[in-house]
Each structure stands twice: as structure tokens, then as C-alpha cells.
Amino acid sequence: MTGVAPRLILVPTDLSEPAAHALRYASALGERLGAPLLVIYADAFIPPTDFTATTTGVFHLSRDAMLVAAREELRKHAERNVGPRVPFDLRVIIGEALDAIVAQVHQSGADLVVMGTHGRTGVGRLMFGSVTEAVMRVVPVPVIAVNPAAMNTADVERVLCPVTFTPACRDALRHAAALARGRAPLVLLRPVEDDQTHLGVEELNRLHRWLPPELTDRCEMKLVAAANEAEQIVEIARKMQAGLIALGVPAGRSVTEPLLGTVAERVVQRSGCPVLTVNPYAAQVPPVETKREAMIAG
């Protein structure tokens, strides 16, 4: 999907309010771009602990009842949050959320994932984990993370892209440009160390060589100090009223990141606008042709 608007948007949900907020954003984006939604809910569906191996029949009845209830809740959730002009399909999946999302990307041909985040930080994030953060690192398509503070509207009038000169960052910029309205300006943010601010001309030349040629005349670059990078990205996005932040993200973590989070994770937690991320797998794997007929209601 390099530089092309999405044709099928996958929206995982846990039926929470942050997930509903992300679904409303995905609906607005789908309506503007003419893209249908595939809304999925995944759960292990483990019955209550008083069901034992000696009550196998009751176990299956309980799981069946849980599936029926989940499908009904998912239907209500979608009807409340998806606009009337946006086609959507629903799927309830037995299994872990991350595995289900990765599988559905491959099976459905979805070329964009939009999902919410609870915005946990520090120890809370370490203890409870975040499916969104894991998805950002492993799925082979772009991911838009929408935290509870982000706007519902999908009108992207300005894009902020912190530049790392990686293929993933380059593709994130292309995808964001395709999602923006018309020829919306693209502001490129280049963090440099305090003693490197004199490298402006050199950095501009490097940037010109790295930029996709079709986007050159839409871009402007700002040099900022590398300290507190995530906080600076969020603040600059707020000041310029960015409608989307585009980030290239690594597939893994360093040993210091499980508690503090990566720059991308910290930006997602604090941003007042949605954040589009592309990881190395999404940058390297060619897009799968979307097949709308592959969407099967769960």
C-alpha cells in the first residue's frame, strides 16, 4: 500500500470506550476514503473457574453462550460507532488478540489497522501490557494508534513526521501523505544533538536524497534538540495542529524500553492526534491485494 489510500481497514476492538473512540475515527477515515471496515473481537472465551473437566458438556454450552453474547455486543458496538454510510463486517475470534490481528491482516487483505490504546504508562503498562504496542511492532501493514485524547475527525490537514532516515520512516511518510487531504503540508522533524545544530545544510541535503521524489515539494524540515524527543514531537504536533503523526518504528525493543516504552509508544500515549506507525516488516513486505469478498461475518 506504499503511498496508496487503504482499501480495507481492520479495526480490532475490546469493546471499551478507548476502542469505541478508535472505531469512530476509523469510520470517519473509511467514509472519507471509501474504504470498508472489518471489525474484530478476539478472546480466549474461557468459562468461569467452577467449570471443570468433568462437566465438558456444560463447558461447551458455556463457551457457545459466551460467543453468542460476544457477537451481539460486537454488533451493538459497531452500530453505535460506525457511520451509516460506511460498510463493515464483523468477526468474533477465539484466541489471543495479537495472534488474531496478525492472522486477520493476512487472511482479509486489510492494508491498514486502526486501533485504540488505553494510554497506560510506566509500571501499569508493564504489568498489563498493550496489544496496540505489540501490533505496532509486528504487523506487516501500517497501524494508526488512537489514544483517548485524539480527535474523532479524520480530516488530516497537516502531517508531522520525525525523520530517522529508515525505510520504515520513509514509508510512514508516504502512507501519511496518502491519508492527508489534497496536498496537505508535511513537516519533517529532525532531532539532532545540541552540538550538531550547525549541520543544517548537510541535513537538508541528506533529507533531499532520502525523500520520496513525489513528496519533495510538500515538505519542510525543522531541526530540534534530541533531548526529550517524544515530548517534543507531541508538543510540536500540538502547536502546528497536526492531524496525524507519522513514525517509523523498530520491530524489537532495547533492554531499557519495557518500562519507559519506545519513543513511538510514548508519543502514542501522549499525542493529541492519531499516530501512524510503520515497522520494518510493513516496509519490506509487498501489499496483499485487498479482496472484499474475503470478509466473512463472524
CATH of the domain at 150: 3.40.50.12370
Whole-angstrom distance, CA of residue 32 vs CA of residue 39: 18
Q: Is residue 108 part of a domain?
A: yes
Closest CA to 189 of 239, 256, 135, 254: 239
Instruction: Say how many domains are in the chain.
Output: 1
- Residue 96 pLDDT exceeds 70: yes
For the entire predicted model, the pTM comes to: 0.85
Instruction: Inform me whether the pLDDT recorded for 48 exceeds 80.
Output: no
Residue 154 lies in a domain: yes
**Residue 243 falls within a domain, yes or no?**
yes
Give pLDDT tens digits for 142-175.
999 998 888 778 889 999 999 988 999 999 999 9
Question: What does each C-alpha distance from 219 to 183, 205, 215, 235 come to in angstroms?
Answer: 10, 13, 7, 19
127 pLDDT tier (thresholds 50, 70, 90):
very low
Of the chain, the percentage scoring pLDDT greater than 90 comes to 52
Residue 182 has pLDDT above 60, yes or no: yes
Using 50, 70 and 90 to split pLDDT, how confident is the model at 204? confident
Residue 3: inside a domain: no
pLDDT at 266 over 50: yes
Find the range with the poorest average confidence among 54-58, 226-230, 271-275.
54-58
Which of 27-41, 141-155, 166-180, 258-272 has the least mean pLDDT? 258-272
Tell me, yes or no, whether 23 lies in a domain.
yes
Domain contains 272 = yes
Mean pLDDT, the chain, rounded, equals 82
Burial readout 220-236 (b: 16 or more C-beta within 10 A, e: otherwise) = ebebbeeeebbebbbeb
49 pLDDT above the threshold of 70: no
Residue whose C-alpha is closest to residue 114's, from 229, 219, 32: 32
Categorize the per-residue pLDDT at 200 as very low, low, confident or very high, splitting at 50, 70 and 90: low
pLDDT confidence of residue 236: 93
Whether residue 151 lies inside any domain: the answer is: yes
As a whole number of angstroms, the longest Cα–Cα distance in the chain is 74
Q: Exposed/middle/buried for 71, CB within 10 Å: 0-12, 13-18, 19+?
A: middle
Q: Identify whether 80 is part of a domain.
A: yes
The boundaries of the domain holding residue 213 are 9-294
**Residue spans of alpha helices (H) in 109-179:** 122-128, 131-138, 167-179
